[in-house]
Amino acid sequence: MQQQVIIVGGGMVGLSLALMLAKASIAVKLLEAIKYPNYDDADLAPYHSSFDARNSALSRRSVQIYQELGLWDALQVHATPIFEVNITEQGSFGKARLKAAQEKVENFGQVIENAWLGRVLLTEVKKQPLIELIDGVQVTSLKQNKDQVYIEALRQDQCLSLQTALLIAADGRDSFCRQALGIGASEHDYDQVAIVTTVQTSKPHQHIGFERFSALGPLALLPLPGEYRRSVVWPVKKGTEHEWLGDENDQHFLDALQQTYGDRAGKFQKTGRRFSFPLSQVLAEKQAIGRVVLMGNAAHTIHPVAGQGFNLCMRDAYVLVRSLTEQLSKSDDIGEPTMLLAYEQARLSDQQRVIKFCDSVVRGFIHQNPMLKLIRNTGLIAFDMIPGVKPLVANYAMGLKA
């Protein structure tokens, strides 16, 4: 009898994981709380709670995983490669620059709008005979014993009772599954809200990504398909976000971008609708308990400052599927708790490194003390000049040294 895995949570991580499992000939039942949009127009990608206005900077490792899944050709149409990364601080002398050609790589990764990433993933999931997709379903109970995991769920007026040898909880930072299992989580509120949108500039982006640290917050400007389109992710102090939202504030927002960023992109000409997302770090105290594994934001939600969150989740998923495949090759129990604990231990080093790095960057640039600014900018210059540092950082950022 073929063993079936249940995934709770059908966002980008859940969909990607389901496709990895199906490729490994493992049957999947995927439960998603929100109804998915209908894709009637081939030229549109409607927003979903998990495929919203945000963008993902896919590392080279994430791109490789999608290539292995046979999905990259469909994704590449909506993605833009990054050939160069510039890091600066407003009003300061320090700067650092990474160039793909100098690091002898094709690019540092690809930027894709989450709405298109979600559309491509969902379309592929619906084609897979090994994946049963159930959306609009709310899990209401989760229990387990030494042999099985049992869940109950509601879909409209229908009550579902399901069981599995392995449940993967990818149901977000406020994970119901994590709470039902009694797994605690540490949380740090950064007192920031990310303003996310797309802008058009008078100068072409030339496939350059920018990280610009300012008193308002760390501004990320990344290239998008279309020579003059760029994505904006701008964490600002919580409580000030309303100043930048709403159609009536379009010009005010563009003026603030111009003042913060300068003229490197030319003139900021147009902005799309702005969306806001509160920023916090949430880390589960455990990621494997019994026959349940936490995945994605349910396991670790981190600050988007370095664009590493989704890429970290992709590496988690890839290693988990590899562990499950090895287990099945020996005809062993796919949900064996000792194996799941070994998976958790195998991933801790990579996770802790990325989490610490992102948290340190946010905390390190949040203060405007002149002495701290001097130290930061001296560090940027050192990064730009000391031999051997750039290749190491570039490999980590590309997910190739996990």
DSSP three-state, residue 4: strand
Q: Report the alpha-carbon distance of residue 57 to residue 48 in Å, rounded.
A: 19
If one compares 11 and 38, the residue with the highest pLDDT of the two is 11
* Model confidence, pTM: 0.88
For residue 136, the model assigns a pLDDT of: 94
* Average per-residue pLDDT for the chain: 86
184: exposed, middle or buried (C-beta count within 10 Å: 0-12, 13-18, 19+)?
exposed
> Which amino acid belongs to residue 249?
N
> Which amino acid belongs to residue 401?
K
The full set of domains in the chain, from first to last, is: 4-397 (3.50.50.60)
Q: Report the alpha-carbon distance of residue 377 to residue 93 in Å, rounded.
A: 6
Q: What are phi and psi of 119, to 5 degrees?
A: -65, -45
Q: Report the alpha-carbon distance of residue 206 to residue 183 in Å, rounded.
A: 46
For residue 80, the model assigns a pLDDT of: 95
Q: What is the pLDDT of residues 346-392, one digit of tens each?
A: 999 999 988 887 887 776 555 454 444 444 444 444 444 444 444 54
Q: Report the alpha-carbon distance of residue 183 to residue 157 in Å, rounded.
A: 29
DSSP strands (E only) in 103-157? 109-113, 131-135, 138-144, 149-155
Q: Report the alpha-carbon distance of residue 241 to residue 196 in Å, rounded.
A: 11
Nearest Cα to Cα of residue 54 among 309, 261, 337, 387? 309
If one compares 226 and 316, the residue with the highest pLDDT of the two is 316
